[in-house]
Chains A and B, each alone.
Chain A
Amino acid sequence: MNKTNYSEKEIYNLIAGIPDPEIPVITIEDLGILREVSIKDDKILISITPTYSGCPAMKAIENDIKEILSKHDIGPVEIKTVFSPVWTTDWISDEAKEKLRVYGISPPEKSSSDKNVLLNRHVYCPRCNSTNTELISQFGSTACKALYKCKDCLEPFDHFKCH
Chain B
Amino acid sequence: MSELNKNIAEYALRIGDTSLILGQRLAEWCGHGPILEEDIALTNISLDLIGQSRAFLTYAGEKEGNGRSEDDLAFFREARTFKNRLMAEQPNGDYAQTMIRQLFLSVYQYYFYTELMKSKDETFAALAEKSLKEVTYHVRHSSEWTIRFGDGTEESHVRTLEAVDTLWKYTGDLFETDQIDADLKKAGIAVDMDVVKTSWDKKIREIFETATLTIPQEGFMIGGSVAGMHTEHLGHLLAEMQVLPRSFPGVEW
Q: Do A and B bind each other?
A: yes
Q: Which residues of A contact B (CB under 8 A)?
A: 50, 52-56, 83-84, 86-87, 112, 115, 118-119, 136-141, 143, 147, 161, 163
Chain A nearest CB, measured from B43 CB (Å)? 8
> A139-B37, A139-B141, A147-B37 in contact; A163/B133 too (CB < 8 A)?
yes
Q: In the complex the two chains form, is B47's CB within 8 Å of A143's CB?
A: yes
Asked whether any CB of chain A lies closer than 8 Å to the CB of B41, the reply is yes
- A54 B141 Cβ-Cβ under 8 A: no
Whether A83 lies near B126 (C-beta < 8 A) is: yes
- CB contacts (< 8 Å) of B129 on chain A: these are 83-84, 86
Among the interface residues A52, A53, A143, which one has the most CB atoms of the partner chain B within 10 A? A53
Among B41, B45, B125, the one with the most A-chain Cβ atoms within 10 Å of its Cβ is: B41
Are B137 and A53 neighbours in the complex by a CB distance under 8 Å? Answer: no
A158 to chain B, nearest CB (A): 12
B141–A138 contact, CB under 8 A?
yes
Question: Beyond the given A53-B48, A86-B129, A138-B140, could you list 12 further A-B residue pairs with CB under 8 A, ordered by the A residue number?
Answer: A50-B130, A52-B48, A54-B48, A55-B47, A83-B129, A118-B133, A119-B136, A119-B137, A139-B37, A139-B45, A143-B47, A143-B48
User: How extensive is the interface on chain B, given as a class?
Assistant: 20 to 34
Contact: A53 with B37, CB < 8 Å? no
Knowing A83-B130, A118-B133, say if A140 contacts B48 (CB, 8 Å).
no
The 7 closest A-B pairs by CB, nearest first: A54-B51, A53-B51, A84-B126, A137-B37, A54-B47, A139-B44, A139-B41
20 A–B pairs (Cβ distance < 8 Å), ordered by A: A52-B51, A53-B51, A54-B49, A55-B47, A83-B123, A83-B126, A83-B129, A84-B126, A84-B129, A86-B130, A87-B130, A118-B133, A119-B140, A136-B37, A137-B38, A137-B41, A139-B37, A139-B44, A143-B44, A161-B137
Neighbouring A residues of B37 by C-beta, 8 Å: 136-137, 139, 147
Q: Smallest CB–CB gap between B137 and chain A, Å?
A: 6
Partner of B130, one of A53, A56, A139, A140: A53
Q: Which residue of B lies closest to A53 (CB)?
A: B51
Q: Which residue of B lies closest to A55 (CB)?
A: B51
Residues of B within 8 A of A (CB): 37-38, 40-41, 44-45, 47-52, 54-55, 122-123, 125-127, 129-131, 133-134, 136-137, 140-141
For the complex, give the distance between the alpha carbons of A56 and B140 in Å: 23
A50 near B40: Cβ-Cβ < 8 Å: no
Instruction: Assess the B55–A137 pair: CB atoms within 8 A.
Output: no
How many Å from the CB of A36 to the closest CB on chain B?
15
Q: Residue on A with the closest CB to B129?
A: A86
Using known A-B contacts A118-B133, A139-B41, determine if residue A54 contacts B50 with beta carbons closer than 8 Å. yes
Q: Distance (Å) between the CB of A75 and the closest chain B CB?
A: 22
Partner of A86, one of B54, B133, B136, B141: B133
